[in-house]
Amino acid sequence: MDTSKSQSENMEIRLSDAEGNSQPAANINYSIRPGRGFYVNLEIHNADLVTANTENMKDVKSAIGAFVSDAVKKAAALGLPVGE
């Protein structure tokens, strides 16, 4: 097993609260381990902030979608059997 191609990445999603302060809303990460697996983990830290308005929801969904899409492409490039 060649683990030299293993990759992982993390992204924190921050949103502005009602007072305009940047707050952590969610964290998403992935781990690609050729020969072992592909893992994605999503943690929502502040559901009230994420669902406070339509714009927040769109921003979070867009960020998560782009992050996971990129992770799947990287995993596929490393030979893991994933679909897009």
Give the CA count within 13 Å in the CB-facing half-sphere of 44.
Answer: 11
DSSP element (H, E) containing 24:
strand 22-33
Of the ranges 36-40, 47-51, 69-73, 79-83, which one carries the lowest mean pLDDT score?
79-83
- Residue 67 to residues 20, 40, 41, 61, Cα–Cα distance (Å): 25, 10, 11, 10
Residue 37: is its pLDDT beyond 90?
Answer: no
Q: Is 46 left (phi over 0), alpha (psi -120 to 50) or beta?
A: beta
- What is the pTM for the complete model shown? 0.83
What's the pLDDT band for 76 if we cut at 50, 70, 90?
A: confident
Residue 12: is its pLDDT beyond 90?
Answer: yes
